[in-house]
Structures are given as C-alpha cells and as structure tokens.
Amino acid sequence: MLTFFSYKAKKEAFDQGMAKTRRSFWTQFSKAVAGKSQVDDVVLDALEELLIAADVGVATTVKIIERLEQRVARDKYLTTTELDQLLKEEMAELLVASNSPQVADSLPIPYVILVVGVNGVGKTTTIGKLAAQYRQIGQQVILGAADTFRAAAIDQLQQWGKRAGAVVVACGRHKDPAAVAHETIQEGLRVKADVMIIDTAGRLHTKVHLMQELAKIRRTIQKLIPEAPHEVLLVLDGSTGQNAFVQAEAFTKATAVTALAITKLDGTAKGGVVLGIADQFQVPVKYIGVGEGITDLQVFDRHAFVESLFAGRSA
C-alpha cells in the first residue's frame, strides 16, 4: 500500500480525526443498551436511529439492520457484546475495497488523475496534499489548473504547487478547461512526469453542461494518452452529510468516477457518511481527510476505519 507516513503517525491522526463521530455514536449507543444483556427490538430500533443520525443513510442503515435481524432470528439469542463484532463485520463488508493501484511502483507512468467535486469541499487542497505526498516519495508531479471558472481556484493551486514542489500549468480564467488539460498532459509528457493531477470546475448548476465539459476533458486527455485518465477522483465534504450523497449521485452520473476522497471528517460527528456513500454508489473510498495537515489526508483503510470507530466502545 502506498504509505507516505509512519504507521504510528497515521493511526494517531486518524483516531483523532474520527473522535467526534466515535464519541457521539458510542455515547448514544451505550445509553441504548444500558442494562441489557441481549439484542432485542428496542436495541435494534435504537441502533437504526443512531446510524441514520450519523448520516449512514436510510438505505444502508436498513441493510445493516435487516442483516442483524436475520442473525437474531437464526441464533435466537444475540448478546450486546456479539453485536459489536457483527457491526464491525457488516460495516467492513459494506466498504468497497479499492481496486486502484496503491503501490507507487505499480502505477502506470505517467499516472493521470482527474479530480472532480463542487466548490468548497476541499478539492484543490486535496490535490495540493496529494501532490506534496507524491513529491515526498520522489515522484515528479504536474498539476493542471483546469478550474478556469474561478480565479481563486487557480491561485490556490499555484500556491500549493509552490509548497509541494510541483509544476502548475495554468492558462488563466475563462480558458477552455479541455485546452488546459491538453497543455498539462503535453507538459507532463515533455518532462516525463510520474503523476499528472488535473483540477476541474466545481459547478452543479447545470448537470448537462457538467457532463459535456468532463466528457470533453476526457476526450482531450485520451488524444495524448489513450488509456487516461487512470483515475477519476471525486472529492466530497463529509461534514455536509446528505448533501454529499446528492453530489455523489450527480457526479457519478456525469462521469465515470473510480474513487472517492472524503474530507473534513475531523469536524463532524457524522462520519457514517463514508459507509453510506461507499455502499450506495459502489465506488471505493481511496482517501480520507481527518485534519488540516498533509499527514491528515490518508490512504483509506476500511478495516482501520471500522476499528477506529469502535475504539471508543468501552469509553
């Protein structure tokens, strides 16, 4: 697995970032099962409410509860301690394992990433952190400022490029995004870059226009590298809860999203959105943002996510 930082640093940052979700969920759950030795309808009803409150989503919550009900019906007796383990197993199963290459040596070179998402979700910051992380392991990175709708997006990407030591291809506002993508790929091929990351406009006001723009960018890239983009990364703000579901639906319809980056989970108690989105859209979560630092954008590990969520169970 692509590892930019030590296991200890990653785990500490991850656990701290998940603290709000963990405390909120388990505090309420502990109250629901207080004094009970076995799982009954009251416990399952309380669990259902908590999962929905954590923004797991109705459909995914129903799926989890139905599986637990089947287990109770089959075994006739299920303790609240056993419920913990079953919940862990169900949650881990719902999180689609990423099929994206995670080992730097296994990535095709050049590796082209097209990044999509609405304004304000942390899209440009995510690109900057990824660039910095790839640079730390010795990769040469080119960034493409194809979000030409907002001057601020271009400026922000240029600032991140300086911080990360990555070249930024920017052609200014109101330029054709596909033309910027074309120049980015050309420059990347010229300097033999390892990774090319292209930012795109974060607008959803007309989904038809969004679809057309993303399709044009893809066609332009493929004229130079037929198999690219190798990854289409959708960035979502985990703290927005159900709005993240709406955005995921719009973008997965507009383009072939291959992976998700869910940001800002450190500022919310609704980290369950990770479960719901991965389950409902069947797109792997590749990165998770649990803080402001570069180390806080981490390669997602579904088992570590579930273990971190359950780490506060006895607290």
Taking 50 as the threshold, does the pLDDT of residue 6 lie above it? no
Q: How does pLDDT run across 95-125, given as a tens digit for each residue? A: 876 555 455 556 788 999 999 998 889 999 9
Within-domain flag for 8: no
Within-domain flag for 245: yes
Within-domain flag for 112: yes
Residue 146: which CATH number? 3.40.50.300
Domain residue limits at 159: 104-257
Q: Which value, in Å, is the radius of gyration of the alpha carbons in the chain?
A: 21
Q: What pLDDT, on the 0 to 100 scale, is given for residue 11?
A: 64
pLDDT band (50, 70, 90) for residue 28: confident
- Domains in the chain: how many in total? 1
Q: pTM value? A: 0.87
pLDDT band (50, 70, 90) for residue 161: very high
Distance CA 196, CA 281 (A): 26
- What are the Cα distances from residue 50, in Å, to 139, 141, 216, 305? 43, 43, 43, 18
Cross-strand pairs, 199: 115, 145
Within-domain flag for 294: no
Q: How does pLDDT run across 142-153, given as a tens digit for each residue? A: 999 999 888 788
Within-domain flag for 110: yes
Tokens of 177: 């995004």
Q: What pLDDT, on the 0 to 100 scale, is given for residue 110?
A: 93
